[in-house]
């Protein structure tokens, strides 16, 4: 994306390849050569403000010339000079990020102070100085010291005009009707500009919050994101019982990708894991992270162990189907090897720069060992998980196996979802009301 395209809305008329579009684009981005996004945005606002002031000066020149050209000759010369000053202001971008912005803000304040003295305070033109907040758009929040200095300059200009400017000024002092029209124009313009300013600022703030919340719910489970929004400085640390942890690994991935282009590998993983993400969202499972070609997810963190075990089992079986129907990666047909264990764990949010939601404990370690000691195209589960999920699924005994650092354990393979007429199955009504 080029600097110019970044600030143009999609399918904007300014992006159509016409001479008018090219001219308008050149005008808006005149003098802007920086590659820094924030600098480009500030300089774009500076250009827009300069052209707006130039247009206003042109309108005043025409109105003044029609009303009394000779009597307003001083202001006509001033308006011509202000138009040239604003039109050429973009050339100052070459001398520094803020040179054009500061020069424009100070120049407009000084020039308008002259206008106030020319027409007097009866014209109410001094109230344009109350728009000093606009300078924040020119220098940016990150340069708040510069903004405060410019704000002080405009405030000083307002005080000088209120304390020292004459009532009727030195230009056409007897034309009270013209001054009333200037006062009306100043009131209307200030009202409209302030409304646009606040509308733009609040809309930008709302859009930034929406983007921030969308990003937060992308990297964190929704309920955790909600807790962080309520208490941004609070620590998220939970102890959960009866959770089902699954590790799902792609068998043959490393060998299959050795001679493939990076783009092809990433596209394949993105497609596969995006389908798993959608399944997690649909089933109410919490995706924890991807580790290379391995996918880690947890069910039951919301507080219902049986429902969590059911959901994580459905996710594992769905992953088997996803890989079974997926195309080959290079010349290899990949398989899934999964491991699931159920038990207590600790969950929380860690990090600041790249925060993440993670889980810890023996339950996680056992689930990982079950996956690594598993069999391709099978979901290897513990006795604890089988006991929790037995009403929902069919299992096949594997026998006792020795797992590194964990000893000997009786394990099983998750086979399929139980049929509704299976005596051991748990129907939805029974699950909701076990005492019925």
Q: Which CATH superfamily is domain 234-432 in?
A: Nucleotide cyclase, GGDEF domain (3.30.70.1230)
Distance CA 362, CA 248 (A): 18
Pairwise CA distance, residues 402 & 161, whole Å: 88
Query: What burial letters (b/e) apply to 93-127, b meaning 16+ CB within 10 Å?
Result: beeebbbbbbbbbbbbbebbbebbbbbbbbbbbbb
β partners of residue 339: 247, 380
**177-201 burial string, b = 16+ CB within 10 Å, else e?**
ebbeebbebbeeebeebeeeeeeee
Q: For residue 76, what are the contacts with CB-CB under 8 A and spacing of at least 6? A: 61, 64, 65, 69
Query: Is pTM, for the whole model, over 0.75?
Result: no
Q: Give the per-residue SS3 of 65-85.
A: HHHHCCCCHHHHHHHHHHHHH
Hey, what are 127's tokens? 């109230």
β-pair partners for 267: none
Q: What is the pLDDT of residue 421?
A: 65
- Domain span(s) for CATH 3.30.70.1230 in the chain: 234-432
Tens of pLDDT along 371-407? 999 999 999 999 999 999 999 999 999 988 888 777 7
Choice among 21-30, 47-56, 214-223, 334-343 with the minimum mean pLDDT: 214-223
The runs of H, that is alpha helices, within 165-261 are 176-219, 222-230, 253-257
Q: 241, 238, 280: which is closest to 362 by C-alpha?
A: 241
CB atoms within 10 A of CB 162: 13
Residue 274, number of CB atoms within 10 A of its CB: 10
Kind and range of the H or E element at 265?
helix 262-283
Around 162, how many Cα atoms within 13 Å sit in the side-chain half-sphere?
10
CB-CB contact of 414 with 381 (8 Å) = yes
Q: According to the model, what pLDDT value does residue 376 have? A: 94
- The predicted-structure confidence for 105-126, as pLDDT tens digits, reads as follows 999 999 999 999 999 999 989 9
Mean pLDDT of all residues in 128-154: 92
Neighbours of 416 (CB within 10 A): 11
Quote the tokens at residue 42.
């500030």
Higher pLDDT, 308 or 205: 308
**Closest-CA residue to 109 (of 91, 81, 131):** 131
pLDDT digits (tens, 9 = 90+) for 266-290: 999 999 999 999 999 999 999 999 9
pLDDT at 294: 93
* Interatomic CA distance for residues 401 and 320, integer angstroms: 23
Question: Residue 172 in contact with residue 71, Cβ under 8 Å?
Answer: yes
Q: Which range has the top average pLDDT, 294-298, 345-349, 420-424?
A: 294-298
């Amino acid at each position: 994306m080029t600097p110019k395209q970044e600030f143009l809305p999609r399918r904007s008329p300014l992006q159509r390849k016409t001479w008018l579009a090219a001219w308008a684009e050149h005008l808006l981005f005149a003098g802007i050569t920086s590659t820094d996004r924030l600098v480009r945005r500030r300089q774009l606002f500076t250009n827009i403000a300069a052209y707006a002031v130039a247009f206003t000066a042109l309108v005043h020149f025409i109105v003044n010339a029609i009303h009394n050209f000779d009597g307003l000759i001083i202001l006509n010369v001033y308006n011509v000079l202000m138009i040239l000053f604003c039109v050429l202001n973009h050339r100052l971008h070459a001398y520094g990020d803020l040179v054009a912005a500061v020069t424009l803000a100070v120049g407009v304040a000084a020039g308008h102070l002259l206008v106030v003295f020319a027409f007097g305070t009866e014209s109410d033109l001094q109230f344009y100085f109350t728009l000093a907040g606009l300078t924040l758009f020119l220098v940016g929040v990150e340069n708040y010291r510069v903004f405060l200095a410019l704000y002080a300059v405009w405030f000083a200009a307002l005080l000088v005009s209120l304390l020292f400017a004459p009532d009727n000024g030195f230009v056409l002092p007897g034309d009270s009707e013209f001054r009333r029209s200037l006062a009306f124009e100043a009131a209307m313009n200030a009202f409209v500009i302030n409304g646009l300013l606040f509308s733009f600022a609040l809309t930008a703030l709302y859009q930034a919050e929406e983007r921030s919340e969308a990003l937060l719910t992308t990297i964190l489970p929704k309920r955790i994101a909600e807790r962080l929004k309520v208490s941004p400085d609070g620590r998220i640390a939970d102890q959960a019982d009866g959770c089902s942890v699954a590790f799902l690994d792609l068998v043959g991935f490393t060998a299959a990708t050795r001679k493939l282009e990076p783009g092809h590998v990433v596209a394949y993983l993105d497609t596969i894991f995006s389908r798993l993400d959608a399944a997690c969202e649909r089933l109410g499972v919490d995706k924890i992270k991807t580790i290379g070609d391995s996918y880690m997810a947890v069910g039951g963190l919301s507080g219902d162990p049986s429902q969590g075990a059911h959901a994580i089992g459905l996710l594992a079986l769905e992953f088997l189907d996803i890989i079974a129907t997926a195309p080959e990666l290079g010349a290899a047909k990949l398989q899934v090897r999964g491991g699931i264990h159920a038990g207590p764990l600790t969950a929380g949010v860690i990090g600041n720069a790249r925060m993440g939601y993670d889980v810890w404990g023996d339950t996680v370690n056992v689930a990982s060992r079950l996956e690594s000691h598993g069999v391709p195209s099978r979901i290897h589960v513990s006795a604890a998980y089988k006991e929790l999920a037995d009403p929902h699924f069919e299992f096949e005994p594997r026998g006792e196996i020795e797992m590194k650092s964990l000893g000997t354990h009786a394990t099983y393979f998750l086979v399929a979802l139980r049929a509704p007429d299976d005596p051991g199955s748990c129907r939805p009504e029974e699950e909701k009301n076990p005492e019925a």
